[in-house]
Amino acid sequence: MLNPLYESLSDKTYDAQVIVTLPVFRLFSKEAQVGVMAHEFAHAEHADRLGPGWYEKMLSRYADEEKHADRIAVQWGFGDHIKALRSERHEIVNPLLDSRTRRILRRLHKADEASRNAMLARMRAAGIDEAELDNLI
């Protein structure tokens, strides 16, 4: 996934970064993994041509952007890799992720709850009272 890389929260401009979620990436074959990376670098090449505001421009036409990235990667010679990526995403990865959605969401919820409780404990230790906490959360 090609995402903005901000220097600070107030920045209006940003660079780009490719983010790979390894547990998902590992579900693909080596051939499809090359397709994933070619697709992401195709987004980067397109972002460079779009210039400032590239991320918002891409999001506003997301489906077209996805097809465009695949077309660029195919033009670069990664056609077989893109074909493997599409086929494995449709036949293997998405069904597997769909079947694991409930477990993934439960795990995310637990992690979120643990993080929230740790934050509450730190705030209590800092002397913030319960009523104030209720207003903050």
Q: Which residues bind Zn ion (CB under 5 A)?
A: 66, 69
At its nearest, how many Å lie between Zn ion and the CB of residue 39?
A: 5
CB of 45 to Zn ion, least distance (A): 12
| Strand pairing report for 2-5 and 15-18 | antiparallel
Closest approach of Zn ion to the CB of residue 43, in Å: 5
Measured from the CB atom, is 63 or 126 closer to Zn ion?
A: 63
Could you give the C-alpha distances from 3 to 12, 24, 108, in angstroms and in order? Answer: 14, 17, 21
Tokens 């972002």 found at: 47
Shortest spacing between CB 91 and Zn ion, in angstroms: 19
Reference 42, options 2, 84, 90, 88; nearest CA is: 2
What residues pair up with 18 in beta bridges, in sequence order?
2
Nearer to Zn ion, 3 or 117 (CB): 3
Q: Name residue, tokens 């959360």.
A: 137
Would you say 69 or 84 has its CB closer to Zn ion? 69
User: Which is nearer to Zn ion, 55 or 120 (by Cβ)?
Assistant: 55
